[in-house]
Amino acid sequence: MAATALVAARVEPEVKQRAKEVLDRRGITESQLIRSVFEYVIETGDVPVFTFSDAYEIDLETGERIPRRDKFQRLLDWVRTGPLSQYDWTGITDEQLEEDYQAAMDEKYGMGGKDE
């Protein structure tokens, strides 16, 4: 076998599990899928059209398909009225945003912060 390089991607655990179940049924490994997509990109000089499709944005809690434009609008609404609305964006520092982000991740996922 030729030398290989590691490709890492971050996805929600549920997305990974559900995709793996489908791939297993089809007899395809995650590596084979990624290799195929990379070969497509090389061959065509472009990315697959489905990566731009609104049909593939899925809300994991409800299973609903959400058009990306709706997701963007929800994000804007969240910035305006949610936890991000507390910031005076003209004076917030990158360090404060990072600290707040780490605290939110710790609270949501039980992570120990960046030192772990």
Most confidently predicted of 69-73, 82-86, 94-98, 107-111: 94-98
Per-residue pLDDT tens over the stretch 43-88: 988 877 667 655 456 666 676 666 666 666 667 777 777 766 776 7
- Name the DSSP class of 47: -
Rounded Cα distance between 103 and 100, Å, is 5
Question: What is the gyration radius of the CA atoms in the chain, in angstroms?
Answer: 19
Rounded Cα distance between 13 and 99, Å, is 24
Average pLDDT of the chain to the nearest whole number? 77
Q: Where along the chain do its domains lie?
A: 13-52, 56-109
Residues 85-112 have a mean pLDDT of 77
pTM to 2 decimal places: 0.46
77 vs 22, more confident: 22
